[in-house]
C-alpha cells in the first residue's frame, strides 16, 4: 500500500509504485481521448521518465490505445540521441502505459523566441533525425511533424517525440477514413490518403520552421496557406535570405515530386549561412594606386560595415586568379596582401598592401579583388589598378624636340634680326665682324649666367668655350679691317646687339645641353646635337637676313639638317636598345601585367 503521505496521492495522481515508478506531475492530458502523460521517477535508479497512459474506462475511442501501442512498437527499434528511448510497457489498474526516456526540454508549441542562427540549428537537427529514420530498412515515416512534437532544450538540443502515427515503410495511409496527423502540417498527399514517401515528413518540418520564423502559433498555421496549399512567403521577414526562402519553398511545395526527394537531399542543400544575411557596405569600389619609386610598398584600406541586426558579417579576401600571377604560396598571393585576410565583424577595416618589387617597371597591372562572405551577395569584386614606377633609365627622360625647336627658332630669329639692322649703320664687313665679336662676348655672359644658376652639367663650360673661340677668331679680323675707323656709336650699338644675341643664344643652348644631361643622354651626343641645332639656326638667320643665295650655303644648311635628323633618329633607337637590355637582364623573371 502507498503511504498516505505519498505526494502522488495528495495531488490525485495515480500510484504506479508497484510497477517501480513514482509519479511526480502531470505533463499533459487529452481526457476525452483517455490519454494522460506523466513525469515520473524510477524508484530504483532515481532516473526521470515519461509515462504515457491510455485509460480504458475514460474513452470510448480506442484509437488512442492503438496509437500508444504503435508508438511502442516503432520506438523499440530506434536508437538515436534525438529520439527519447523506449524503456518498456506495463498494464495499470485502469489502463495501458508506455515508459520513455525523459528529456529536460520544452516543445516548440510553447511560445519562445529563437534567433535566426538557432532556427537554422533546429532545422539541421530535425533533418538529421529524419535522415536516421529514413535510412532504416524499411524507412520510418513519422506522419505528425509539428511544433508540439519537437522538443528543444535551453542548449538547443532537439528531440522528436510522439511516434503514435508513425508507420514503417511507405505506401497508402490505410483503408480507414480517419486522417492521422495534424491539419496545417500534413502534406496534401497525407490529407487525401495518398501515397506517402520520405518527402512527406519534410512538409511538416518546413511548416514548423515557417511558424518559428513568423511567430505563428500552431493553431493559426492556416493563415499562412492559401486554398492551393501554397505558403504565402510575403508574410516572412523581408531580411530573410533569398536562398533560405527558396529552400523553404521546396520543403513545403504541395506537389510531392517538387519537394526534396528525402531528408538527406534537403540537409545537403541547407544554405551554408544563417536565415538572415548581412548587407555589406564598402567604403571603396575600386582602387587606383601609383608607385613613384622602384620596389615601393603601396598601402590602401577598405572598410566594410553591416547594418542588419542579429547577424555577423564573416568573410575572407582573395585575388581572382590571373594567368600572369604565380601560384599561391601558403594561401598567400605573391604581391597583394590583406590584413586581416579573414574576419568576423560588423565593422572591419582591411589593409591592402601591394609589393611592387616583384613587378615590371613602367607597367599598369589590373587585378580583381574578391570578397567572399556570408552576405546576400556572396562574392563581391573590386577592381585594382596598379601603375608601377618608371624604369630608372627613363625616370627623367622626356622628349628633347620642343627644346631643340625653341633653340633653332631663337637662333634663326636673333641672327635674322641682327643682320636686318646692320646695314643701317655702315659697311657690312666691318659691322659683321663687330656683331660676331659681340656675339662671342655674349656667349661668355650666358655661360656666366648658367654657372650662377648652378646647373649640374657642362653647359656653362661649353658655352664659354664657344664664346672664347668666336672672340679668338674675330679679334685678328678687327685689326685687319681697322674697326677703329668706325664711329663710336656704330661700334657700340653693333657690338651691343651681338652681345645681346649671344647671351640669348648661349643661355638657350646651355639649357638644352643641361636638359640632355639630366636625361642621361651621352654628353658628346648632347653637345653635338645642341651645337648643330644652334649652327643651323645661325645659318638660316644669315641666309634670310642677308638674302644670300650661294649654293654652297644651301648645301651646308641641308647637310647640317641631315646631321641633326640622323642624331634625332638615333636617340629613340638607342633608348629602345637600353630598355630591351634592362628588361632582359633585370626584369625577365618579374611578374608580367
270 pLDDT more than 90: yes
Residue 588 included in any domain: no
Average pLDDT over residues 459-488: 55
Q: Are residue 415 and residue 484 in the same domain, yes or no?
A: yes
Q: How many domains does the chain have?
A: 4
Q: Are residue 214 and residue 164 in the same domain, yes or no?
A: yes
Confidence of residue 145 (pLDDT cuts 50, 70, 90): very high
For 378-452, where are the alpha helices, taking DSSP H only?
401-421, 428-452
- In three-state secondary structure terms, 221 is helix
- In three-state secondary structure terms, 47 is coil
Work out the mean pLDDT of the chain and round it to a whole number: 79
Do 470 and 535 contact (CB within 8 A), yes or no? no
Cell of 51: 509515462
Range of the domain at 432: 399-580
Q: Are residue 551 and residue 491 in the same domain, yes or no?
A: yes
- Across the beta sheet with 286-290, what order do the strands follow? 286-290, 379-387, 364-373, 314-319, 342-344
Return the higher-pLDDT residue of 464 and 352.
352
Three-class HEC string of 49-64: EEEEEEEHHHCCCCHH
Backbone angle region of 493, left / alpha / beta, with phi > 0 → left and psi within -120 to 50 → alpha: alpha
Residue 28 included in any domain: yes
208 pLDDT more than 70: yes
Model pTM score: 0.56
Q: Are residue 410 and residue 559 in the same domain, yes or no?
A: yes
159 vs 164, 214, 363, 522, 546, CA distance in Å? 15, 22, 63, 88, 114
CA distance 112 to 222: 20
CA distance 41 to 21: 6
Q: Are residue 327 and residue 464 in the same domain, yes or no?
A: no
CA distance 219 to 184: 8
Q: Are residue 447 and residue 502 in the same domain, yes or no?
A: yes
Residue 361 included in any domain: yes
Q: Which of 39, 17, 179 has its CA nearest to residue 102?
A: 39
Grid coordinates 641666309 are at which residue?
543
**Of the candidate ranges 58-72, 277-291, 560-574, 576-590, the one whose mean pLDDT is the lowest:** 576-590
Q: Are residue 443 and residue 520 in the same domain, yes or no?
A: yes
Residue 512 included in any domain: yes
Q: Are residue 94 and residue 113 in the same domain, yes or no?
A: no
pLDDT in the model for residue 4: 44
Confidence of residue 473 (pLDDT cuts 50, 70, 90): low
Q: Which of 482, 473, 475 has its CA nearest to residue 430?
A: 482
DSSP label of 143: S
Return the higher-pLDDT residue of 308 and 359.
359
Q: Are residue 264 and residue 139 in the same domain, yes or no?
A: yes
Amino acid at each position: 500500500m502507498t503511504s498516505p503521505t505519498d505526494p502522488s496521492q495528495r495531488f490525485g495522481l495515480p500510484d504506479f509504485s508497484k510497477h517501480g515508478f513514482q509519479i511526480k506531475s502531470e505533463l499533459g492530458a487529452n481526457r476525452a481521448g483517455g490519454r494522460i502523460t506523466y513525469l515520473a521517477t524510477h524508484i530504483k535508479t532515481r532516473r526521470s521518465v515519461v509515462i504515457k497512459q491510455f485509460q480504458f474506462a475514460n474513452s470510448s475511442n480506442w484509437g488512442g490505445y492503438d496509437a500508444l501501442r504503435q508508438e511502442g512498437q516503432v520506438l523499440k527499434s530506434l536508437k538515436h540521441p534525438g529520439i527519447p528511448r523506449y524503456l518498456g510497457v506495463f498494464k495499470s489498474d485502469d489502463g495501458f502505459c508506455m515508459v520513455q526516456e525523459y528529456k529536460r526540454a520544452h516543445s516548440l508549441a510553447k511560445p519562445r523566441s529563437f534567433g535566426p542562427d538557432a532556427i537554422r540549428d533546429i532545422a539541421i537537427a530535425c533533418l538529421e533525425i529524419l535522415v536516421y529514420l529514413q535510412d532504416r530498412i524499411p524507412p520510418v515515416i513519422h506522419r505528425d511533424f509539428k511544433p508540439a512534437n519537437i522538443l528543444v532544450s535551453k542548449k538547443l538540443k532537439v528531440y522528436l517525440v510522439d511516434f503514435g502515427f508513425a508507420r514503417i515503410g511507405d505506401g497508402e495511409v490505410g483503408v480507414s477514413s480517419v486522417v492521422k496527423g495534424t491539419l496545417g502540417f500534413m502534406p496534401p498527399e497525407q490529407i487525401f490518403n495518398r501515397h506517402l514517401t520520405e518527402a512527406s515528413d519534410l512538409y511538416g518540418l518546413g511548416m514548423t520552421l515557417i511558424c518559428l520564423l513568423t511567430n505563428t502559433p500552431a493553431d493559426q498555421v492556416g493563415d499562412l496557406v492559401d486554398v492551393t496549399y501554397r505558403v504565402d512567403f510575403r508574410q516572412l521577414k523581408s531580411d530573410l535570405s533569398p536562398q533560405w526562402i527558396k529552400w523553404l519553398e521546396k520543403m513545403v511545395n504541395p506537389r510531392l515530386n517538387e519537394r526534396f526527394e528525402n531528408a538527406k537531399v534537403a540537409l545537403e542543400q541547407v544554405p551554408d549561412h544563417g536565415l538572415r544575411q548581412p548587407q555589406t557596405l564598402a567604403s571603396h569600389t575600386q582602387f587606383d594606386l601609383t608607385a613613384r619609386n622602384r620596389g615601393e610598398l603601396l598601402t590602401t584600406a577598405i572598410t566594410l560595415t553591416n547594418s542588419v541586426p542579429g547577424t555577423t558579417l564573416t568573410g575572407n579576401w582573395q585575388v581572382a586568379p590571373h594567368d600572369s600571377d604565380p601560384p599561391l604560396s601558403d594561401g598567400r598571393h605573391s604581391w597583394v596582401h590583406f590584413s586581416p585576410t579573414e574576419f568576423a565583424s560588423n565593422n572591419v577595416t582591411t589593409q591592402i598592401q601591394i609589393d611592387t618589387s616583384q613587378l615590371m617597371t613602367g607597367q599598369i597591372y589590373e587585378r580583381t579583388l574578391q570578397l567572399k562572405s556570408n552576405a546576400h551577395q556572396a562574392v563581391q569584386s573590386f577592381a585594382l589598378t596598379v601603375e608601377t614606377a618608371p624604369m630608372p633609365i627613363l625616370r627623367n627622360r622626356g622628349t628633347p624636340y620642343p627644346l631643340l625647336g625653341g633653340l633653332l627658332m631663337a637662333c634663326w630669329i636673333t641672327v635674322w634680326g641682327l643682320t636686318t639692322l646692320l646695314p643701317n649703320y655702315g659697311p657690312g664687313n666691318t659691322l659683321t665682324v663687330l656683331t660676331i665679336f659681340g656675339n662671342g662676348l655674349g656667349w661668355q655672359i650666358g655661360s656666366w649666367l648658367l654657372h650662377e644658376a648652378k646647373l649640374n652639367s657642362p653647359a656653362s663650360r661649353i658655352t664659354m668655350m664657344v664664346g672664347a673661340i668666336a672672340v679668338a677668331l674675330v679679334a685678328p679680323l678687327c685689326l685687319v679691317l681697322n674697326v677703329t675707323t668706325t664711329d663710336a656709336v656704330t661700334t657700340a650699338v653693333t657690338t651691343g646687339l651681338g652681345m645681346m644675341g649671344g647671351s640669348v643664344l648661349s643661355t638657350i643652348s646651355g639649357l638644352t645641353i643641361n636638359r640632355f644631361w639630366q636625361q642621361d643622354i651621352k654628353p658628346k651626343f648632347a653637345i653635338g646635337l645642341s651645337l648643330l641645332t644652334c649652327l643651323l639656326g645661325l645659318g638660316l638667320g644669315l641666309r634670310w637676313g642677308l638674302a644670300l643665295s650661294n649654293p654652297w650655303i644651301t648645301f651646308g644648311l641641308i647637310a647640317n639638317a641631315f646631321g641633326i635628323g640622323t642624331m634625332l633618329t638615333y636617340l629613340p633607337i638607342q633608348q629602345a636598345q637600353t630598355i630591351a637590355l634592362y628588361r632582359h637582364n633585370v626584369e625577365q623573371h618579374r611578374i608580367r601585367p
